[in-house]
């Protein structure tokens, strides 16, 4: 029995239902008309062939009162803009504009402009909401313009012009900052830029003064046309392309050059490869993935790999390098929760990841010593994935731990940090399949299988 | 007219004409003027509430 996708309900013309492994889009009459117009265009063939648009097949299968049903391939891992890096959001914004420009050239339009309509597949953005396309009605403005500014342009400006991460804002308010809010977030110098004067200050002023006014018929009568949208879209493309972010230079970039990392990399890679060969996971979750070295090893087995890291700069570098691994920016001590309408619209990161194997290399000592998570809680958390885990244990004698605890007293640290105590803890939830010692015994790798299931 | 499910924002819609360049500024001005005239016309035909007939119907 198909069940509605809790994240697809806003457009009455088109919504997704999930049927086991199948993804179906149910269209009403208006949605079906939009599909017919899109599928007859050269844009559809071109953008589907080059991967910018999700593949779609009209199927002859009745579903309630749907006027038409499309089938799409399943996206391996759904991520949300508050889990994307700067370059990912910028590429998604450019895809949105590019498709709109091409659509207008063929008498079509895209009726909204939200990054939730875009997903990353094999390292590139792909537009997934086929129901967003419809025939352009002459004289109509671009309905998605304000949404584009709030969910793409302003977040990119925040990072590029104000040095502020946009992800907390998008996670806290899924509609994104308003033009009025952006005015307060940009410095006077940035507000004087022509693009900010138009898209931020003027929009804020006009939104305030014209709130609730019906203006679409006036615009049409006044001679509004698609060329005006195209001019705006092309200028936005140049603006978005020019927005840049060079990183903070304060994170984990270059971590792989650290002595202990370089020394142990090969051993860890071999240990992981052995676990991958034994477990043969279909989905791998790499926690604290850093530069993606181990994610790439897992990806070479053909598994879907989700690399999670809290450092935007390293993940952005991995994205720009062209990795095909799925990326999710996130603080593991505060991962994306289930949120949105009814608390179901955007499922939690861990629900979406749904791994068959978890990698936790170079991670748990940061949780224990930096984030002050009790060791027992860390192990229970690893067990909560209900799948095999490959984990690196770092003992209190390790030089990195000494640095992490340089300003902490023994009383300020949780008990249970020794290797013997760690082994007791993992014994409660896991059986140990393999162990390898590193760095003269201060670090050790464990391949674990859950006791139940 | 297409009715979108999305609230496009009235000010943002008019702004789009301005963002469309020189030709669009004229369109924006015309639309703004039409809206002003429309508002005035509505104000002019609005009867004085004191002169409305009193009714007991609900």
Q: Is residue B22 less than 8 Å (CB to CB) from chain A? A: no
Contact call for B10 and A212, based on CB within 8 A: yes
**Candidates B3, B4, B14, partner chain A, best to mutate (most A CBs within 10 A):** B14
Which CATH number applies to A255-450: 3.40.50.150, 3.40.190.10, 3.40.109.10, 3.60.15.10? 3.40.50.150
CA distance B50 to chain A (A): 27
Q: Which residues of B touch A33 (CB under 8 A)?
A: none
Q: Is residue A406 less than 8 Å (CB to CB) from chain B? A: no
A228: nearest CB among B2, B6, B17: B17
pLDDT at B1: 36
User: Which A-chain residues 200-219 have CB contacts (< 8 A) with chain B?
Assistant: 202-203, 205-219
Q: Is residue B23 less than 8 Å (CB to CB) from chain A? A: yes
pLDDT at B55: 38
CA distance B57 to chain A (A): 31
Cβ pair A316, A247 in contact under 8 A: yes
Query: A431: which strand partners?
Result: A449
Q: Which residues of B touch A202 (CB under 8 A)?
A: 15, 18
CA distance B9 to chain A (A): 7
pLDDT at A402: 84
Q: Is residue B45 less than 8 Å (CB to CB) from chain A? A: no
A with B: how many residue pairs have Cβ under 8 Å apart?
129
Q: Which residues of B touch A207 (CB under 8 A)?
A: 9-12
**What residue spans of A3-107 are helical by DSSP H?**
29-39, 42-49, 86-104
Q: Is residue A140 less than 8 Å (CB to CB) from chain B? A: yes
CA distance B52 to chain A (A): 26
CA gap A411, A392 in Å, rounded: 25
| Whole-structure pTM value | 0.91
Shortest CA distance from A9: residue in chain B: B5
- pLDDT, one tens digit per residue, over A168-216 is 999 999 999 999 999 999 999 999 999 999 999 999 999 888 877 778 8
Place of tokens 């879907």: A304
pLDDT at A408: 84
Q: Is residue B25 less than 8 Å (CB to CB) from chain A? A: no
Contact call for B8 and A141, based on CB within 8 A: yes
pLDDT at A261: 65
Q: Which residues of A touch B37 (CB under 8 A)?
A: none
Q: What is the mean pLDDT of chain B?
A: 68
Of residues A159 and B47, the one with the higher pLDDT is A159
pLDDT at A414: 87
Q: Which residues of A touch B4 (CB under 8 A)?
A: 111-112, 143
Given a cut of 50, the residues of chain A with pLDDT beneath it are: none
Q: A321: burial class by Cβ within 10 Å (0-12, 13-18, 19+)?
A: exposed
CA distance A228 to chain B (A): 4
Q: Are strands A108-110 and A133-135 parallel, antiparallel or unpaired?
A: antiparallel
Contact call for A207 and B10, based on CB within 8 A: yes
CA gap A297, A314 in Å, rounded: 17
CA distance A247 to chain B (A): 31
Domain with CATH 3.40.50.150 in chain A: 255-450
Does residue B53 surpass a pLDDT of 70? no
For the ranges A147-151, A388-392, B19-23, B33-37, the lowest mean pLDDT is seen at B33-37
Residue A451 gets the label, from left (phi > 0), alpha (psi -120 to 50) or beta, of: alpha
Place of tokens 């195209």: A230
Contact call for B13 and A141, based on CB within 8 A: yes
Residue A310: which residues within 8 A CB-CB, separation 6 or more?
A: A288, A329, A330, A331, A332
Contact call for A222 and B21, based on CB within 8 A: no
CA distance A181 to chain B (A): 15
**Candidates B1, B5, B11, partner chain A, best to mutate (most A CBs within 10 A):** B11
Q: Is residue B36 less than 8 Å (CB to CB) from chain A? A: no
Q: Is residue B5 less than 8 Å (CB to CB) from chain A? A: yes
Does residue B36 surpass a pLDDT of 50? yes
Contact call for A141 and B35, based on CB within 8 A: no
- pLDDT, one tens digit per residue, over A295-313 is 999 999 999 999 999 999 9
Measured at the CA of A21, the angle between CA A387 and CA A302, to 5 degrees, comes to: 55
Residue A220: which residues within 8 A CB-CB, separation 6 or more?
A: A138, A139, A140, B1
Q: Which two tokens stand for residue A287?
A: 């926690």
CA gap B18, A350 in Å, rounded: 45
Cβ pair A301, A359 in contact under 8 A: no
A131 three-class SS: helix
């Amino acid at each position: 029995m198909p069940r509605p996708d809790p994240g697809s309900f806003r457009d009455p013309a088109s919504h997704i239902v999930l049927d086991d492994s199948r993804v179906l889009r149910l269209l009403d009459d208006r949605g079906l008309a939009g599909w017919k117009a899109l599928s007859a265009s050269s844009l559809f063939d071109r953008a589907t062939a080059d991967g910018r648009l999700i593949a779609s097949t009209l199927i002859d299968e009745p579903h309630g009162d749907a006027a038409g049903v499309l089938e799409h391939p399943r996206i391996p891992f759904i991520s949300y803009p508050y889990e994307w890096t700067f370059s990912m959001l910028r590429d998604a914004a450019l895809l949105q504009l590019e498709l709109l420009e091409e659509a207008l050239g063929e008498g079509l339009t895209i009726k909204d402009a939200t990054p939730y309509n875009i997903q990353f597949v094999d390292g590139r953005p792909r537009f997934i909401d086929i129901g967003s396309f419809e025939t352009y009605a002459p004289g109509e403005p671009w309905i998605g313009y304000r949404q584009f500014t709030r969910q793409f342009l302003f977040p990119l400006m925040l990072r590029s012009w104000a040095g502020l991460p946009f992800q907390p804002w998008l996670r806290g308010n899924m509609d994104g900052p308003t033009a009025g809010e952006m005015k307060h977030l940009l410095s006077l110098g940035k507000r004087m830029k022509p693009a900010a004067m138009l898209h931020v200050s003027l929009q804020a002023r006009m939104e305030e003064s014209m709130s609730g006014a019906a203006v679409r018929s006036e615009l049409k009568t006044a001679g509004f046309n698609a060329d005006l949208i195209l001019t705006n879209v092309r200028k936005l493309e140049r603006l978005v392309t020019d927005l840049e972010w060079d990183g903070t230079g304060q994170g984990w970039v270059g971590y792989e050059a650290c002595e202990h990392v370089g020394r142990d990399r090969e051993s860890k890679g071999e240990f992981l490869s052995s676990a991958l060969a034994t477990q043969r996971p279909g989905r791998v979750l790499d926690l604290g993935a850093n530069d993606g070295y181990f994610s790439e090893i897992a990806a070479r087995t053909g598994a879907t790999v989700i690399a999670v890291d809290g450092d935007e700069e390293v993940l952005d570098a991995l994205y720009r390098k062209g990795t095909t691994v799925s990326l999710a920016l996130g603080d593991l001590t505060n991962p994306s929760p289930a949120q949105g309408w009814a608390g179901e619209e955007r499922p939690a990161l861990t629900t979406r990841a749904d791994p068959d194997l978890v990698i936790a290399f170079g991670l748990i000592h940061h949780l224990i010593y930096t984030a002050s998570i009790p060791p027992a809680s860390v192990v229970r958390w690893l067990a909560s994935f209900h799948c095999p885990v490959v984990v690196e244990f770092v003992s209190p004698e390790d030089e990195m731990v000494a640095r992490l605890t340089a300003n902490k007293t023994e009383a300020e640290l949780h008990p249970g940090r020794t290797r013997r105590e760690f082994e007791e803890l993992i014994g409660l939830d896991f059986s140990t399949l393999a162990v390898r010692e590193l760095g003269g015994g201060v670090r050790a790798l464990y391949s674990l299988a859950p006791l139940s299931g | 007219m297409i009715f979108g499910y999305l609230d496009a924002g009235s000010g943002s819609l008019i702004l789009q004409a301005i963002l469309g360049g020189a030709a669009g500024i004229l369109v924006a001005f015309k639309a703004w003027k039409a809206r002003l005239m429309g508002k005035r016309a509505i104000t002019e035909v609005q009867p004085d509430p004191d002169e409305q007939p009193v009714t007991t119907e609900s």
